[in-house]
């Protein structure tokens, strides 16, 4: 391994054997402290690092992200957890620090999708955070530094093969970026648009005020979608993303995905779900899958047997009315869109999942219809004028 080049295990797939990362000038801005990186590992590492660094600069809070396939499954800042969230995130028995809480929130946004994630941190990883990473199924981590005890814990993970990367916080890439597709080289200015509260100034609805919590949540979700494969809709509340709908050709489909994830995040905090007792020896990943299965509308006989195998006693499934009653308590959610919202259907669906604050670029021929929908629901919406597509 040189300071200018790293040979990777393989490319996107194992049969793509020749793979490397390198710089033409200077040296690589990171060190591999443990493990052997793959191509997707490094894409996740470098994208996720940009996200947590940007949010730390914007909010001055510790930030963590949980990445899968070059998009965040979750991202969050380190603000305290409720007792329900501690239990829903399986951390009620653990020592907590602000950075550890940020990762618990990021990982907890979509615990099924976060399985086998790449984790990113804005700050030096402490022992409390390392202990949480160690007990989760994760492929690697990137951070600006590691406490000695934390590094020892992480180096022992995955039989000593856990990927650990230390990044130079002062590194700034060149303004122009290039990539090659099918032998053709593409070049563009790097996306250096910075997500700040300034994006919220152009409010276009009758209601004009964004409370401080909504400002924070919109910054979190907007930064998240900046580093998510487009099209993207992000839902956020309490300083974390709770639903990211990504990579769909239709914005309403992105909205439905994000809303469904947000609904499941909140349903995981339902008293019936929190009271589920699992059989001894059932791993956290299996518990996550079982809860996800339990929250489905219908179960076939095989799925019912899977629940019986995981739970001491399977409670009656929540009815549609019980779910709607509980979801009606989800309020003050923020929504951010990486592109203009072309129809009011996004707003109609978002309202069902507690959305009260919206940020989008604007510029659709149907902006007036979307504004009218927001006014009907009492939402506050701003036009940022900035599109944030990412591919």
CA distance 190 to 187: 9
DSSP bridge partners of 355:
333
- The residue annotated as part of the active site, out of 148, 189, 331, 391, is 391
Residue 325, C-beta contacts closer than 8 angstroms, at least 6 positions apart: none
- Which of 65, 388, 23 has the alpha carbon at shortest distance from 231? 388
CA distance 298 to 308: 15
Residue 301, C-beta contacts closer than 8 angstroms, at least 6 positions apart: none
Token pair for residue 315? 């409670």
> Is 391 considered catalytic here?
yes
- The residue annotated as part of the active site, out of 53, 56, 68, 157, is 68
3-class secondary structure, 237: strand
| Count of CB atoms situated within 10 Å of the CB of 212 | 8
- Asked if 141 and 119 touch (Cβ cutoff 8 Å), the reply is yes
Sheet with strand 163-167: strands edge to edge: 30-34, 163-167, 138-143, 117-121, 63-68, 71-77, 240-246, 232-237, 333-337, 355-360, 380-383
- Is the alpha carbon torsion for 350, 192, 240, 284 positive or negative? positive
Residue 214, C-beta contacts closer than 8 angstroms, at least 6 positions apart: 332, 334, 356, 357, 380
- Which of 6, 37, 384, 367 has the alpha carbon at shortest distance from 223? 384
> Is 18 considered catalytic here?
no
- The residue annotated as part of the active site, out of 34, 41, 231, 289, is 231
CA atoms in the 13 A half-sphere facing the CB of 286? 14
> Is 270 considered catalytic here?
no
- For residue 87, CA distances in Å to 91, 94, 108, 279 come to 6, 11, 11, 16
> Is 68 considered catalytic here?
yes
Active site residues: 68-69, 231, 391
């Amino acid at each position: 391994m040189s300071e200018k080049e790293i040979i990777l295990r393989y490319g996107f797939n194992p049969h793509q054997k020749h793979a490397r990362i390198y710089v033409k000038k200077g040296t690589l801005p990171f060190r591999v402290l443990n493990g052997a990186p793959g191509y997707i590992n490094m894409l996740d590492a470098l994208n996720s690092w940009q996200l947590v660094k940007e949010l730390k600069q914007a909010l001055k809070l510790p930030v963590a992200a949980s990445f899968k396939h070059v998009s965040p499954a979750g991202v969050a800042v380190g603000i305290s957890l409720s007792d329900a969230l501690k239990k829903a995130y399986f951390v009620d028995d653990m020592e907590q620090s602000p950075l550890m809480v940020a990762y618990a929130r990021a990982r907890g946004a979509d615990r099924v999708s976060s399985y086998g994630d790449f984790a990113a941190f804005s700050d030096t990883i402490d022992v409390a955070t390392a202990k949480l990473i160690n007990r989760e199924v994760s492929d690697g981590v990137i951070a600006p530094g590691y406490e000695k005890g934390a590094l020892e814990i992480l180096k022992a993970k995955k039989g000593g093969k856990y990927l650990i990367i230390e990044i130079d916080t002062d590194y700034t890439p060149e303004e122009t970026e290039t990539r090659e597709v099918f032998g053709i080289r593409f070049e563009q200015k790097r996306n250096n648009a910075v997500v700040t509260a300034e994006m919220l100034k152009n409010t276009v609805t009758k209601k004009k005020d964004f409370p401080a919590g909504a400002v924070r949540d919109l910054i979190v979700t907007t930064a998240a979608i900046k580093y998510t494969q487009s099209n993207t809709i992000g839902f956020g509340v309490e300083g974390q993303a709770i639903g990211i709908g990504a990579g769909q050709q239709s914005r309403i489909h992105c909205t439905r995905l994000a809303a469904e994830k947000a609904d499941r995040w909140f349903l995981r905090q339902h008293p019936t779900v929190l009271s589920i007792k699992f059989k001894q020896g059932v791993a956290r990943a299996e518990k996550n899958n079982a809860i996800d299965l339990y929250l489905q509308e219908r179960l076939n006989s095989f799925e019912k047997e899977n629940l019986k195998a995981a739970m001491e006693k399977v409670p009656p499934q929540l009815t549609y009315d019980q779910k709607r009653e509980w979801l009606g308590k989800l309020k003050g959610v923020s929504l951010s869109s990486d592109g203009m919202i072309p129809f009011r259907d996004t707003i109609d669906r978002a309202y069902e999942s507690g959305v009260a604050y919206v940020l989008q670029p604007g510029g659709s021929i149907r902006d007036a219809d979307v504004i009218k929908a927001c006014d009907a629901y009492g939402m506050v919406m701003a036009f940022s004028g900035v599109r944030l597509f990412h591919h």
